[in-house]
Amino acid sequence: PGSRPNVVVDSYTIHGVVVMKDDEKLEIFEDGDVKDNEKIAKALFAAASDRYYTTLFYGQGLDTTVTDSDKISQVFIRSNGEFSVAGYIGPKDYEILNSIDPKLTKVIEYGWFTFIARPMFNFLNWLHGYIGNWGWSIVVLTLIIRLILFPLSYKGMLSMNKLKELTPKMKELQEKYKDDKQKLQMHMMDLYKKNGANPMGGCLPILLQIPVFFAIYRVLLNAIELKGAEWALWIHDLSLKDPYYILPITMGILMFLQQKITPTTFTDPMQEKVMKFLPLIFTVFFLAFPAGLTLYWTINNTASIIQQYVINRMFEKHKRLAAEKHNENRS
């Protein structure tokens, strides 16, 4: 295949060479990573690839050599005699590649979270088959993901509500034992234990969701199916930034509102100030991001606000009922 198609280089995905070995495992050589000539025997396909396009050869038993040329990875097919090989030059479109050979879809690579991203894209593609609009398919996918992750989100939000109630007592302990870290830690753990709170309870559910968010991030950034795909009104290409910045600004406002209704346990004023600037920072970043990705985050933030509002109401109701029961027992 040699060089890749001439397109603008970006930092959103793998740029380099992808080779499928005879055991169907992938060997990936990103630009600048090839030190010496790398030889792979009996490859099933060898591809030069970037964000949207690929140039590849496929067949049985391809002897390949990957080289470096000015920090650009290139791949060549070796042979001592005559041989025949099939090739493809074009977009990394799942349907096209799958129709040629299902193995070729592996050239669509999503990085570390490919094992989550690939089935996620397949599901998005399936939704599009019914809905017929990639934008609305993203909206539906986002809502389904939120529903699946709701039990984790619920546990995290509930834990944060409990910790918020303890914040005044936590500050008192920090002030009282500011010169004795060991005693502070001991009394803090006692406080958590007496009130059934877990300081890691809000973090663990969020950490478990991170692979999912990274996977959808890679899917929406790299899906050529979104190139030229309309959503509604002013969004005529989900692979390009919002021309009027309506979605990223809306997303930033929603992040700000989400912060307002989400319980926090900050005891460090500086940390609290930094968090307040996050909506602005995210808004600036997303101004240049593809509209498809910004649409996902906007819908995701909307769903998060609704979930947080419902959980806050449930928590307040639980507190009120507990207080009433306590008063009844006292009387």
292 band by pLDDT with thresholds 50, 70 and 90: very high
Asked whether the predicted pLDDT for residue 32 surpasses 70, the reply is no
Asked whether the predicted pLDDT for residue 29 surpasses 70, the reply is yes
pTM: predicted TM-score of the whole model, two decimal places:
0.79
- DSSP state, 2? B
276 band by pLDDT with thresholds 50, 70 and 90: confident
* Residues 56/33, Cβ–Cβ less than 8 Å: no
Highest mean pLDDT among 22-31, 187-196, 244-253, 272-281: 244-253
**In the predicted model, what is the mean pLDDT of residues 251-265?**
83
**In the predicted model, what is the mean pLDDT of residues 277-295?**
90
Asked whether the predicted pLDDT for residue 294 surpasses 90, the reply is yes
- State residue 14's pLDDT score: 58
Tell me the pLDDT tens digit for each residue of 158-198: 777 777 777 777 778 777 777 777 877 887 788 777 776 66
**In the predicted model, what is the mean pLDDT of residues 207-216?**
81
124/294 Cα distance (integer angstroms) = 16
To the nearest 10°, the Cα dihedral for 87, 88, 89, 90? 180
- State residue 62's pLDDT score: 82
Highest mean pLDDT among 74-83, 119-128, 274-283: 119-128
- State residue 7's pLDDT score: 42
Tell me the pLDDT tens digit for each residue of 93-145: 999 999 999 999 998 888 788 888 999 999 999 999 999 999 999 999 999 99
Please report, rounded to a whole number, the percentage of residues in the chain having pLDDT higher than 90: 24
Query: What is the pLDDT of the chain when averaged over all its residues?
Result: 81
Phi, psi of 16 (to 5 degrees): 160, -140
* Residues 32/45, Cβ–Cβ less than 8 Å: no
- State residue 126's pLDDT score: 94
Q: DSSP letters of 84-111?
A: --EEEEEE--HHHHHHH-GGGGGGS--G
- State residue 3's pLDDT score: 47
Asked whether the predicted pLDDT for residue 5 surpasses 50, the reply is no
Asked whether the predicted pLDDT for residue 269 surpasses 90, the reply is no
pLDDT top residue among 238 and 50: 238
Asked whether the predicted pLDDT for residue 8 surpasses 60, the reply is no
290 alpha carbon, distance to own chain's centre = 14
Other beta carbons less than 10 A from residue 154's beta carbon: 15
pLDDT top residue among 92 and 61: 92
106/19 Cα distance (integer angstroms) = 10
- State residue 271's pLDDT score: 67
- State residue 242's pLDDT score: 92
pLDDT top residue among 34 and 211: 211
245 band by pLDDT with thresholds 50, 70 and 90: very high
